[in-house]
Amino acid sequence: MDSFAALSTNLHMNHKVVSGVLGAILVALGIYGASYLIQNKKKPKSIVQKVIKTVYVDTVENGEVPVIINANGTIVAKRRIELFSEVQGVFVASSKLFREGQSYRKGEVLLRINDEEFGASVQSQKSMLVNLITGVLPDLRLDYPEAFPAWEQYLKNFDMGKATSELPEPASQQVKNFLIGRGVYASYYNLKNLEQRLSKHVIRAPFDGILTEVQVNEGTLVRAGQRLGEFIDPSVYEVEVSVNKSFAPYLKAGEEVELSNLENTASWNGKVSRVNGKIDQATQTITAFVEVAAPEIKEGMYLQANIHARNVDDAYQIERSLLVDRSRVFAVKDTVLELLPVKPVFYSEKHVIVKGLKDGAHVLAKAVPGAYPGMVVKVAETDLNPVAQ
């Protein structure tokens, strides 16, 4: 029994040893296999695709490029007057209502101020003049018979209901001195002064136009110096524009101007009518006045003006975004980008006029993001706006 137990114990121990050896061998084989697989694993190579951008180009053709100065301003009537009263009285009704928008022909009565009291003073002064002339006629007949017929005829033709006509030309200096001494000339000029004041009770239209502002109504007591309204000629307007002083040499009367509204839905042709000879010290700008005539234009409209100042010979115009470092532009040569030197001549809001490009050069029509000299590009076959891929 002891021998059997010992044998059984030995067999059990041998089994453990064999199992441990086999486990170590399997672990070693696993580690070796894993190492082998890791070392011999093939990594897939990444493929980098090279993207070639498509660009659109313009072919340079040098020539005369117009210099266009952009400005803006408000439309005002070229012919306008502010109405003021020089006399006092009650505003009485006339043939047309004195209201905004009312049109008048040249010479029509705009408004009338009651003149009955002042008219009576004029008639009184006329009577005084007639009395003076009547009183000097006998003396003229005796002392200056050569002057008598003219003054007698003047008295016969004198009309109390009409404007006083000029006095007869004196036959001699002695006659003139005699009449001055009798107060004839003083009375005459007093009368003419009153007649002039009487005429100011009626204000007439100086030209064909319309009322744009009214500050009095019928029945209002008008005082001397009071503002009555505003009257304009709607056939011709002006736009006052302020441009940078650097453009002053290019501004000349008669230059063509293209005007447009802010929505760019309508445009009109105008011309520079005059240019201010003084530069505004505060803004360093110079003022130009652009004349335009169109029935659809109204005072107060805000317009943009493109003034054709002059032409630049042997030049080319590009967008400002294409200018690199203010002295170079990108061009395409054999599908490769290169930088060409240029000389900017005139800058506008969106464009720049340059010199120095050769005819036939293919410059970019639009800026390409990330462009650099030597960059390979593909030139589109159409003239559409470029789209970088």
Is pLDDT larger for residue 141 or for residue 389?
A: 141
Residue 36 banded pLDDT, cuts 50, 70, 90: low
Q: Say what the pLDDT of residue 253 is.
A: 85
Q: Say what the pLDDT of residue 378 is.
A: 87
Beta strand ranges found along 328-387 (DSSP E) = 328-333, 336-341, 343-347, 351-355, 362-364, 377-379
Q: Are strands 103-104 and 209-214 parallel, antiparallel or unpaired?
A: antiparallel
Give the contacts of 47 (CB within 8 A, at least 6 positions apart). none
In the predicted structure, residue 49 carries a pLDDT above the cut 70: no
CA distance linking residue 112 with residue 354, whole number of Å: 63
List the one residue out of 201, 189, 193, 119 whose CA is nearest residue 160: 119
Q: pLDDT per residue over 98-134, tens digit each?
A: 999 999 999 999 999 998 888 899 999 999 999 999 9
CA distance linking residue 367 with residue 360, whole number of Å: 19
Q: pLDDT per residue over 140-156, tens digit each?
A: 898 889 989 999 999 99
- What is the biggest distance separating any 2 CA atoms in the chain, rounded to whole angstroms? 201
Q: Say what the pLDDT of residue 4 is.
A: 47
Please say whether the beta carbons of 250 and 69 come within 8 A.
yes
Region of poorest pLDDT, from 2-11, 103-112, 188-197, 314-323: 2-11
CA distance linking residue 47 with residue 292, whole number of Å: 66
Q: Which two tokens stand for residue 340?
A: 């060409």
Please say whether the beta carbons of 291 and 78 come within 8 A.
yes
Amino acid identity of 131? N
**DSSP H or E run through 28:** helix 2-39
Please say whether the beta carbons of 57 and 329 come within 8 A.
no
Q: Say what the pLDDT of residue 244 is.
A: 81
Residue 47 banded pLDDT, cuts 50, 70, 90: low
End-to-end CA separation in angstroms for the chain: 94
What are the φ/ψ torsions at residue 99 (nearest 5 degrees)? -135, 160
Q: Say what the pLDDT of residue 388 is.
A: 35
Identify the three-state secondary structure at position 195. helix
Residue tagged 């975004």 (tokens): 321
User: Partners of 355 in the beta sheet?
Assistant: 343
Residue 360 burial (10 A CB sphere; 0-12, 13-18, 19+): exposed
Q: What letter does residue 96 receive in the DSSP assignment?
A: S
CA distance linking residue 288 with residue 277, whole number of Å: 9
Identify the three-state secondary structure at position 59. strand
pTM listed for this prediction: 0.65
Q: Say what the pLDDT of residue 387 is.
A: 36
List the one residue out of 224, 231, 230 whose CA is nearest residue 209: 231
Give the Cβ contact number of residue 225 at 10 Å. 10
